[in-house]
Structure 1
Amino acid sequence: MATRAGERHRGRLWAAFALLAAFMVIEAVAALLTGSLALLSDAGHMFTDVLGIGMALAAIYAASRAAGDPQRTFGLYRLEVLAALGNAVLLFGVAIYVLIESVRRFADPPEVPAGPMLVVAAAGLVANLVAFGLLRSGAKESLNVRGAYLEVLGDLLGSAGVIVAAAVIALTDWWYADPIVAVAVGLFILPRTWKLARAAVRILVQAAPEHVDVTAVQTRLAAVPGVCDVHDLHVWTLTSGMDVASAHLTLDPAAQVGPVLVAAREALHDDFDIAHATLQVEPAESCQETTW
């Protein structure tokens, strides 16, 4: 199971979280002291790594606590989604601020000390490489760890961009390199942030997962031997990597409930990767479809 795989790598996640959080603070402070927008933009990008790993840890913790309270029948999985939406809102703010400030600085780019900027960016790059190594093995087993791994992989580009800007400033005194790299990193963050926000909202409104064709699910269930009708079909996502479904299956008079349920669940699992399904079977004469 993905949750158990994540639990096996919890120690590595915590190590990566602590390392990147520390360097995120260092980069943010250095950005304020040097006035470097590129550093500030990269610190904002590293913030996505920290929150991404934090959400992975929260999801693992929530899964382990899911059975602790009988009133929380779905556990605490939605905390990951709420955190992702909050993450997206904050990142939009950071990226938009950086872009606006970069445009303003193009008119009169301030002098930025390249030495401290280069040292901090290089240290940030090393931190990302270490985190990358810590998460690489777990990314093959756990969806949550894979998400954090991809966040760190993307941040390597931001750190490399800041290093390039610092080197250009040190060698040529071309101060435009700082806002240009800041714009590049900001534009790199925005599409990822939009994708994150869109995915979180889709889950919160209980829309069907984008990769699941609900009509195809209905057709496949209707093709199960013994099923003559499928209605009240719902497919939604509980949290990342956990798609669930519910449906009413109307059976032929001669159909046996046990084999039909087994075949329907296998169809959902094998064809649509839906591991959790609640299926209600009923004879044709008692079929009563809901209106919502």
Structure 2
Amino acid sequence: MNPLPDTQAFTHPHQFLSASHDESSRRTLLVAILTAVMMVGEIAAGFYTGSMALLADGFHMATHAGALGIAALAYGYARRHAGDARFSFGTGKVGDLAGFASAAILAIVAVVMAFESVLRLYDPVEVAFGDATLVAVLGLGVNLVSAFLLGGGHSHGHGHEHKPHAHAPHAHDHPSHDHEHPHTDHAHRGGAHARDNNLRGAYLHVLADALTSVLAIVALIAGGLLGWVWLDPVMGIVGGLVIARWAWSLMRDTSSVLLDQTDIQLAGEVTQVVEGPGDVRIADLHVWRIGPDSHAAIISVVAPFGLTCDAIRARLAPVHELKHITVECRHAA
């Protein structure tokens, strides 16, 4: 009896974390600590001065600190369990789960903020405009510093280089079902597919918080100089709407990743390179994200006899977003 073949050369890790994972984790943790400190001071000042806009900014900053804390924990969890075999495609989507959770919390807070501001319109309170303005300006400064820290590790959707992974390609020892990781080393075309939703969520949250601070400052200055007390709660409503819009955007994008929604643009690219020569047809195609800059694909093609799965994989080599590919070849009669 022939001994079973050695599969060691064909095994591989399923680690699909972004190249900047550890750097993003450090930046997020630093911003979370900075924000938590400022949040305590801003909420205390809001209660002391009676400013609804300042309180709205403070409570938004509280959720911001919580969201950043969730993001930092998600980075740590994804790193610690990156090699855990229980995760079929690794922990690359843990950040999307964290982003969805923080977006859901922010949506609730936005509703509460807007509701409380409406109440203040009907039942105004005295506001210490001078003290509240100083605290709001300080809060805006913290927001800008935080945006700078997070922006340094945020790609903003621009193109970037992918480095090839160290592990070797592998294939099942079956003539019609092959499975491997193709890797190329060239620039991302347009950068449309790479996105760390965990870092993106934290970054957009900081920008939204900065906008809320600006609205609070405008309301407080107008209230102190012009006596427009009504503008303070109005800005609270506007801030709530801004936060709700941001929360919806992040919830929509992260849920599509969590539900393995097909990347239409990438699927079209795969179809073009596979069917381009005109000798095969794709019978079934699944393309979904498994990490910030990694996608998986299952491709079933109908091909003439003699055309192998290796040939199909060779056609997919330029599509460097695909890091985990399963190819099935069915031969037409």
Q: TM-score, normalised by structure 2?
A: 0.72
- Which residue pairs with 1:148 in the alignment? 202
- What letter is aligned with 2:233? P
Q: Are positions 1:282 and 2:297 aligned together?
A: no
CA shift for structure 1 position 261? 0.7
1:129-278 matches, within 5 Å, as: 129-140=144-155, 143-144=195-196, 145-209=199-263, 212=265, 214=267, 216-217=268-269, 219-225=271-277, 228-266=280-318, 268-269=319-320, 274-278=321-325
RMSD over aligned Cα atoms: 3.0
> Looking at both structures, which has the greater relative contact order when contacts are Cα pairs under 8 Å and sequence separation is at least 6?
2
- What letter is aligned with 1:118? T
Distance change in 2, residues 1:180/1:149 (3 Å): same
Identity in percent: 31
Q: Which structure shows the higher helix fraction?
A: 1
- What letter is aligned with 1:31? G
Which shifted more, 218-227 or 94-103? 218-227
Q: CA contact under 8 A between 2:154 and 2:200: conserved in structure 1?
A: yes
Q: Are positions 1:12 and 2:64 aligned together?
A: no
CA shift for structure 1 position 127? 0.8
Q: CA contact under 8 A between 1:45 and 1:155: conserved in structure 2?
A: yes
Unaligned runs of 5+ in 2: 1-15, 161-193
Distance change in 2, residues 1:192/1:66 (3 Å): same
1:122 paired residue among 122, 125, 137: 137
2:80 paired residue among 59, 65, 68: 65
Q: TM-score, normalised by structure 1?
A: 0.81
1:18-52 CA-partner distances (Å, limit 9, x unpaired): 10122123323333444422123223443464355
Q: CA contact under 8 A between 1:6 and 1:138: conserved in structure 2?
A: no
Distance change in 2, residues 1:85/1:60 (3 Å): closer
- Alpha-carbon distance in structure 2 between the residues aligned to 1:35 and 1:237: 47
Q: CA contact under 8 A between 2:297 and 2:325: conserved in structure 1?
A: yes
Aligned residues: 279
CA shift for structure 1 position 230? 1.4
- What letter is aligned with 1:26? G
- Alpha-carbon distance in structure 2 between the residues aligned to 1:28 and 1:73: 44
1:49-76 CA-partner distances (Å, limit 9, x unpaired): 4355445534543443344322222233
- Alpha-carbon distance in structure 2 between the residues aligned to 1:153 and 1:281: 46
- Alpha-carbon distance in structure 1 between the residues aligned to 2:282 and 2:230: 62
Distance change in 2, residues 1:85/1:237 (3 Å): same
The alignment partner of 1:4 has SS state of: coil
CA shift for structure 1 position 184? 1.4
Q: CA contact under 8 A between 2:63 and 2:105: conserved in structure 1?
A: no
Distance change in 2, residues 1:257/1:89 (3 Å): closer
- Which residue pairs with 2:4 in the alignment? none
Unaligned runs of 5+ in 1: 287-292
- Alpha-carbon distance in structure 1 between the residues aligned to 2:324 and 2:40: 44
- Alpha-carbon distance in structure 2 between the residues aligned to 1:242 and 1:285: 32
- Alpha-carbon distance in structure 2 between the residues aligned to 1:70 and 1:46: 37
- Alpha-carbon distance in structure 2 between the residues aligned to 1:24 and 1:166: 18
Q: CA contact under 8 A between 1:92 and 1:193: conserved in structure 2?
A: yes
- What letter is aligned with 1:95? A
The alignment partner of 1:69 has SS state of: coil
Q: CA contact under 8 A between 2:78 and 2:94: conserved in structure 1?
A: no
